[in-house]
Amino acid sequence: MSFRVHIRVMPRRGLLDPQGQAVERALGALQFAGASNVHVGKAIELDVAAQDEASARAAARAMCDKLLANPVTEDFEIAVEPK
């Protein structure tokens, strides 16, 4: 079976997020006064061929651990849906 996997990789809470700060300042300059606490990370989508949803999730977690996320500075979330 094939699953569509959505991964969100965000800077870890409490660590510096210069891109988020830059976006927050830019939003303020554009008069979006209501925006705060902005964080910017990576969104990754991919198809994973696996026997079941748990296997697809485990494969995605391994991909994050080995390549997609920095284990020291980033956290990730994985969502799996059938295709």
For residue 30, the one-letter residue type is L
Site membership for a second copy, residue 23 (CB under 8 A): yes
**46 CB-near residues (< 8 Å, 6+ apart):** 4, 5, 7, 60
Q: How far is the CB of 49 from a second copy (least distance, A)?
A: 4
13 binding a second copy? (CB under 8 A):
no
**Interaction of residue 30 with a second copy, rule CB under 8 A:** yes
Please tell me whether residue 83 adopts helix, strand or coil conformation: coil
User: Does 42 sit near a second copy (CB under 8 A)?
Assistant: yes
Residue 38 binds a second copy, judged by CB under 8 A = yes
Footprint on this chain of a second copy (rule: CB under 8 A): 6, 8-10, 23-24, 26-27, 30, 32-50, 59, 62-63, 66-68
